[in-house]
Amino acid sequence: MSRAISLHQLSKTYGRSVQAVDRVSIDIDPGEFLVLLGPSGCGKSTVLRMIAGLEDITSGELLLDGEYSNHLPPGQRGMAMVFQNFALYPNMTSRGNIGFPLRFEAPDEDSGPRVEATARMLGIGDILDRYPAQLSGGERQRVAMGRAISRRPSVFLMDEPLSNLDAKLRNHLRSEIAHLTRELGVTTVYVTHDQSEAMSLGDRVAIMRGGVLQQVSRPREAYGLPANVFVAAFIGTPRINLLQAVVHAPLGGPMVIDLGRQRLRLPQPLSTDHQLLRIQQGRQLVVGLRSEAVRIAPPSQAGPGEVAISGLVEHMEYQGHEALVHLNTGSVPAVVPDLESPRPAEQRRRRSAPSGGLLTRLKERTVTQLAHTLPRAEEPPTAHAGGPHDPDRPRLSASDLVVRTGPDLRLRTGAQVPLLVDLAHLYVFDHHGRRICPAPTEQPGFDMDPA
């Protein structure tokens, strides 16, 4: 009933120069719920549309149940698609809309029982005789899903199906989709730019950036073991703290991670992961600390694997169940390019610019250095100019570290607070943005290089 979908080095180029999807390989199991996640313009919908047969494949292979299917007509793929802009027929009731595909798929069958069973499943049995104009946004989206479900497809393809709905309804329908797709056991590929939606829905999440697959893994691994700095920054709220850093490993002395004004002294004997940092000595690195990896407490309370630093309170963000403390530790934040991707038109323009042009490269370099960004993989950093120790380096933001605390803690702006960093939850990324601590394990099927 449900299908296996394999993408092998799938690419899509629009016109001569817009590389929307670049050699994406993923094997999706029958019945699996896979989420394609990434900023807008990264190629998610294009992948989905190639699976659906709505977009020609430029190169690579699409296999359905192991069969080469690049040129299989959309109608023969057994797939149903749900879009963001759910277009219902305005002159048909919900019943008519849900039953519409059955007119062609099962013309001899009485569609009534199937429509009613589908409506019951979606909790919309009481609105079957209403027209779209008489429905709320959530009800309309349920009818659209009903239309997809009633066909009993072997694959659901969903393209941001909830993004037109308000937050409350989105959360509600999100859990219904999770429940329903698993109950039906249908392979589902779901596109979203919303990381919390991806994390809560997917059996696995495939994270894309600029047409390139960055990581495919279960949500827990994507959060806990991000393959690179882009994935680390894209997943998790509040965003992971990313600080520019340099490792010093003097002979006979303790190894330290230098964050500019403060140092993390690594405990001896070094863990295997920390030993691997030795070879990065002196290079520009990025340290990643999630807001729960740092706590406000004096050095005397440090547990094993915790090291002390301190910070000045910039401001507090009260969240009800917790508070976020924004601190200044004197470190230089690392900024990750592409997190908020440019508008499509801008991106098309950028992509169509001659890539090797001197002017383009000069412009990119200037932007990269001014914005303190991590260099892109194809542009190695120039020596240590602008590193954390460069006194001429301008500061962009006063707060460089966000720490999570209980909701009742009250701190004065400007107060100096002691901090404990949990080294077991410390990430280090190399100058290409690849995670080097904890040491990476190879993941088959995709290129870890974020270039």
Residues forming the site for ligand ADP (CB under 6 A): 14, 18, 20, 38, 40-46, 344, 347-348
Q: Name the token pair of 74.
A: 């959309």
- Lookup: tokens for 289: 């600390």
Q: In what helix (H) or strand (E) does residue 236 lie, and over which residues does it extend?
A: none
Residue 97: CA count within 13 A, CB half-sphere: 29
CB closer to ligand ADP out of 344 and 445: 344
Q: How far apart (Å, rounded) are the C-alpha atoms in residues 229 and 238? A: 15
Work out how close the CB of 41 gets to ligand ADP at its nearest, in angstroms, rounded to a whole number: 4
Q: Please answer whether residues 219 and 432 qualify as being in contact, where contact means their C-beta atoms are separated by less than 8 angstroms.
A: no
Residue 41 or 260: the one with the smaller Cβ distance to ligand ADP is 41
Q: Which is nearer to ligand ADP, 115 or 206 (CB)?
A: 206
* For ligand ADP, the closer CB: 46 or 141: 46
Shortest distance in whole angstroms from residue 10 CB to ligand ADP = 12
**To the nearest whole angstrom, how small is the minimum distance from the Cβ of residue 349 to ligand ADP?**
10
* Nearer Cβ to ligand ADP (23/431): 23
381 CB neighbour count, 10 Å cutoff: 16
**Sheet of 33-37, strands arranged across:** 79-82, 155-159, 187-192, 33-37, 204-209, 212-217
Say if residues 57 and 66 touch (Cβ distance below 8 Å): no
Closer residue to ligand ADP (CB): 14 or 131: 14
Find the shortest distance in angstroms from Cβ 199 to ligand ADP: 17
Toward ligand ADP, which CB reaches closer, 109 or 346?
Answer: 346
Question: Least Å distance between CB 196 and ligand ADP?
Answer: 17
46 or 195: CB nearest ligand ADP: 46
Q: Which residues contact 77 (CB under 8 A, 6 or more apart)?
A: 52, 53, 64, 69, 155
- Segment holding 145, helix H or strand E: helix 137-150
For residue 266, give both structure tokens: 């690594």
- What does each C-alpha distance from 267 to 66, 304, 305, 306 come to in angstroms? 51, 9, 7, 9
User: Rounded to the nearest whole angstrom, what is the least distance from the CB of residue 160 to ligand ADP in the complex?
Assistant: 8
To ligand ADP, the closest distance from the beta carbon of 347 in angstroms equals 4
85 or 366: CB nearest ligand ADP: 85
Minimum distance from CB of 38 to ligand ADP (Å)?
A: 6
DSSP state of 373: B
As a whole number of angstroms, the distance between CA 126 and CA 212 comes to: 45
The C-alpha angle with vertex 228 and arms to 226 and 231, in degrees rounded to 5, equals 60
Minimum Å gap between C-beta 20 and ligand ADP is: 3
Residues 399 and 315: beta-carbon distance below 8 Å: yes
Minimum CB–partner distance for residue 208 and ligand ADP (Å): 7
Which is nearer to ligand ADP, 47 or 264 (by Cβ)? Answer: 47
- Give, in degrees to the nearest 5, the angle at Cα 278 between 277 and 282: 95
CA distances from residue 424 to 218, 239, 266, 294, 433 in whole angstroms, order as listed: 21, 18, 11, 11, 20
CB 249 within 8 A of CB 214: no
Instruction: Compare residues 352 and 397 and give the one whose CB is closer to ligand ADP.
Output: 352
- The CA distance from 146 to 129, in Å, is 14
Q: What tokens does 401 get?
A: 């570290």
Quote the least distance from Cβ 351 to ligand ADP, whole Å: 7
Instruction: Spell out the residues 6+ positions from residue 403 whose beta carbon is closer than 8 angstroms to its own.
Output: 291, 294, 295, 296, 311, 324, 325, 327, 419
